[in-house]
Amino acid sequence: MSLLELKNVSKTYDNGEAVLKGINFSLEKKECVGLVGESGCGKSTLARCILQLASIDEGEILLNGTALHNKNERKLKPYRRNIQTVMQNPTASLNPKLKIRESLLDPYLQYGSQAVLKHFHYTNETKFVKQLMEAVELPEELAGRYPHELSGGQKQRVTIARAISLEPALVVLDEPTSSLDILSQSATLKLLNGLRQQLELSYLFISHDLSAVNMMSQKILVMKEGSIVDRFEQEELFSESRHDYTKELISLYQ
């Protein structure tokens, strides 16, 4: 059974715009699936549907075989901690009034009693925060600061630490490096890659940047105007059989 399965998922916004048109794909445990496409093709909408932050009109979204799309909030609660996200803008993702340590502890305080952790160990708050800061290679003393006292790259590492703190089944990475400078981008991608292997995480990695997707993912999906127009294994990126649109995207990065 796949970790995540989308079957014929469609969504139209109230203004009549069909934004997702029959999306099908699956994602296996410990795998990174990359989803690439131009701005406006529907990537973030798809992410929001998988995170159960937006509804779908048709189709199914299954996590370990269980349908998520028709559950009410009470029934969704056990699944929420299992699908975490890292979004584009870390400043918007962190509460400016909370110190970093408080933001890091938030998921544990909400859901920790349900989590059976394999890699991190909760003995007390200080030790837990220390493990999370170490995992994302940040000095422990930054945990005592507020978000505005950190750089963009450091803030994004905090949101990554928070997302992985309960060892979720799936992490949806929605353009996680696009607000960062080029050096922080590559360091953050390297960190995410290492964490996936070390903590046996699974990622859906969403980006408009084909080279980043190619570096991170074992399988790649190419999205255009709400449909997946091409899908392939990482090593098949430069194959002649690629869709014309994929070839166009490749040419942008050469």
The verdict on 15 binding ligand ATP (CB under 6 A) reads yes
The verdict on 19 binding ligand ATP (CB under 6 A) reads yes
122 versus 245: smaller Cβ distance to ligand ATP? 245
Q: What are phi and psi of 25, to 5 degrees?
A: -170, 165
The verdict on 35 binding ligand ATP (CB under 6 A) reads no
* Nearest one of 229, 249, 228, 247 to 239, comparing CA atoms: 247
* Nearest one of 204, 206, 122, 197 to 165, comparing CA atoms: 122
Q: How far apart are CA 195 and CA 188, in angstroms?
A: 10
The verdict on 200 binding ligand ATP (CB under 6 A) reads no
42 versus 176: smaller Cβ distance to ligand ATP? 42
Q: For the chain, first and last CA: distance in Å?
A: 38
Q: How far apart are CA 236 and CA 232, in angstroms?
A: 6
Taking the complex as a whole, the smallest distance from the CB of residue 226 to ligand ATP amounts, in Å, to 8
Determine which helix (DSSP H) or strand (DSSP E) holds 188, and give its type and residue range: helix 182-199
52 versus 154: smaller Cβ distance to ligand ATP? 52
Q: Which residues are within 8 A (CB) of 27 and not within 5 positions of it... i.e. 6 or more apart?
A: 2, 3, 4, 5, 33, 170, 202, 204, 219
Q: Which stretch binds ligand ATP (CB under 6 A): 10-18, 155-163, 183-191, 194-202?
A: 10-18
The verdict on 92 binding ligand ATP (CB under 6 A) reads no
The verdict on 9 binding ligand ATP (CB under 6 A) reads no
167 versus 209: smaller Cβ distance to ligand ATP? 209
The verdict on 224 binding ligand ATP (CB under 6 A) reads no
The verdict on 134 binding ligand ATP (CB under 6 A) reads no
Burial of 239 (0-12, 13-18, 19+ CB in 10 A): exposed
The verdict on 13 binding ligand ATP (CB under 6 A) reads yes
HSE-up (13 A, CA, CB side) for residue 12: 7
Token digits of residue 183: 């050096």
The verdict on 16 binding ligand ATP (CB under 6 A) reads no
Q: Of 23, 32, 33, 45, which one interacts with ligand ATP (CB under 6 A)?
A: 45
Determine which helix (DSSP H) or strand (DSSP E) holds 172, and give its type and residue range: strand 170-174
Question: Which residue carries 């649109």 as its tokens?
Answer: 245
Q: Which stretch binds ligand ATP (CB under 6 A): 37-45, 98-106, 144-152, 233-241?
A: 37-45
Q: Of 1, 8, 30, 40, which one interacts with ligand ATP (CB under 6 A)?
A: 40
Q: Of 44, 91, 211, 218, which one interacts with ligand ATP (CB under 6 A)?
A: 44
List of residues contacting ligand ATP (CB under 6 A): 13, 15, 17, 19, 37, 39-45, 208
